Chains A and B, each alone.
Chain A
Amino acid sequence: MGTTVQTKPVSRSTKGTEEKLVFSLPPLPYAFDALEPHIDARTMEIHHGKHHAGYVDGLNKAVSGRDLGQPSVEELLAAIGTLPEEIRAPVRNMGGGHANHSLFWTILSPKGGGEPKADLAQALDRELGGFAHFRESITKAALGRFGSGWAWLSVEPTGKLVVESTPNQDSPRMHGNTPILGIDLWEHAYYLKYQNRRADYVQAIFNVFDWDAVGQRYFQTLRQVRGKK
């Protein structure tokens, strides 16, 4: 559960041998009510089935009929500046929405909570002043994000961990970082249960962070980063 790092596009044959780039909504890796009481079932159902599905549809419309090869959505975002100008905004918004939510579902778990272990715990100690200090930093980033957006724990191209925040659906991949944990700060992520109380939502989500999944992403990202050096 929750181990797929890349959201690969599904290629399918249409009309003979023509290959088309088609993205699909990944299934939620647990039941809608699995994260109760921290995140309510109705929110999960709408968030996954309507909001995330809408980004997937929007992305497919944006890339429809274009010869872009077979990149993953993450690869499209990392290459945003080289894409044809007329699809940059929809890939940024819709592709960002698809990639961000695909990550989000996999770093949450009904068996989550607690603290990171092993390499990630040591890296947080070494680079971000320890887990408690990291938690403070990302909470501050989350509450300081005005409007819609995300707060992230990302890995920089040097392999160093960083806490950051992006507006709307902008992905850290657009500036070369690899997100390994994200907090969705769009009001749709928490409004039905928390309304205006974003701080309560940010506090509660720590009870369902799947640190094994985040640790695994950290491990895989470091391996990729070192491979490139």
Chain B
Amino acid sequence: MPFQQPPLPFAMDALKPFLSKEQLHYHYDKHHAAYFKNLNALVEGKPEAEMPLTEVVIQSAGPIFNNAAQAWNHSFYWDCMKPGGGAPKGDLAAALKRDFGSVENFKKEMTEKAVKLFGSGWAWLAADPNGNLEVLPLGNADTPLKHGKKPLLTIDVWEHAYYVDYHNERPKYVEGFWNVVNWDFVEKNLAAT
């Protein structure tokens, strides 16, 4: 198996009450696992099987892209969360203030774009090649990697990400997400740009 699903970086019940154990079980054990399984089947015997996952995401299209990007996006999404959350600090807080006016403005913009994204997809905080930060709502499996931008933070707004716990109430899910953001991970991503 060329691509392996990384372990969830916290216990299945660690994000309660934001996400239930059942919600995370389906999301990680079923959806995320299936993208890896599908991807491995699709790339068998092909050059993609020898590439790093990010390269497959950048270079592929169609079903290989869909499964590779969803495999990568979900691994990134798990890393964006940790029990307890916190607040952005240092360079990250300064960059958010520089490009959005304030941390609160940034959160407001990302919340709005995540709530309004129509259909399945992801809301991203990304850095463009000049280091400017922006919020990108992207449909289905699409990712900033495909647009030459560096992902810093993401919220999964496929209905499967929240339907067990929130049903149609996506705004409540997005609001709760802010309580579990792993800002150290976001800052690390910014430092690597």
* Among candidates A54, A93, A191, residue contacting B159 with C-beta atoms closer than 8 Å: A191
Residues of A within 8 A of B10 (CB): none
- Cβ of B193 to closest chain A Cβ, rounded Å: 29
Q: Contact at B34–A187, with CB atoms within 8 Å?
A: no
Query: Would you call A224 an interface residue if the criterion is a C-beta within 8 Å of the partner chain's C-beta atoms?
Result: no
Residues of A within 8 A of B140 (CB): 146-147
Q: Which single residue of chain B is at the shortest CB-CB distance from A148? A: B119
In the bound complex, CA of A26 to CA of B159 (Å): 24
- Cβ of A48 to closest chain B Cβ, rounded Å: 11
Residues of A within 8 A of B66 (CB): 146
* Among candidates A46, A146, A168, residue contacting B168 with C-beta atoms closer than 8 Å: A46
Give residues 41-65 of B contacting A (CB, 8 Å).
63
Residues of B within 8 A of A148 (CB): 119-120, 159
Residues of B within 8 A of A195 (CB): 26, 30, 160, 164
Q: Contact at B163–A192, with CB atoms within 8 Å?
A: yes
Q: Which single residue of chain B is at the shortest CB-CB distance from A188? A: B159
Q: Contact at A187–B118, with CB atoms within 8 Å?
A: no
Q: Which single residue of chain A is at the shortest CB-CB distance from B142? A: A147
Q: Which single residue of chain A is at the shortest CB-CB distance from B65? A: A146
- Among A147, A169, A187, A192, max chain B CB count under 10 A is at A147
Q: Contact at A186–B159, with CB atoms within 8 Å?
A: yes
- In the complex where A146-B140, A186-B159 touch, is A54 in contact with B168 (Cβ < 8 A)? yes
* Among candidates B26, B118, B120, B168, residue contacting A196 with C-beta atoms closer than 8 Å: B26
Q: Which single residue of chain B is at the shortest CB-CB distance from A45? A: B167
In the bound complex, CA of A177 to CA of B103 (Å): 48
Query: Would you call A135 an interface residue if the criterion is a C-beta within 8 Å of the partner chain's C-beta atoms?
Result: no
In the bound complex, CA of A147 to CA of B119 (Å): 7
Query: Would you call B81 an interface residue if the criterion is a C-beta within 8 Å of the partner chain's C-beta atoms?
Result: no
Q: Contact at B168–A147, with CB atoms within 8 Å?
A: no
In the bound complex, CA of A169 to CA of B119 (Å): 8
Query: Would you call A117 an interface residue if the criterion is a C-beta within 8 Å of the partner chain's C-beta atoms?
Result: no
* Among candidates A46, A50, A167, A187, residue contacting B158 with C-beta atoms closer than 8 Å: A187
24 of the cross-chain contacts (CB-CB < 8 Å) are: A50-B167, A93-B118, A146-B63, A146-B66, A146-B141, A147-B139, A147-B140, A147-B141, A148-B120, A148-B159, A168-B118, A169-B119, A186-B119, A187-B120, A187-B158, A187-B160, A188-B159, A188-B163, A188-B167, A191-B160, A191-B163, A192-B164, A195-B160, A196-B26
The 3 closest A-B pairs by CB, nearest first: A187-B159, A147-B120, A147-B140
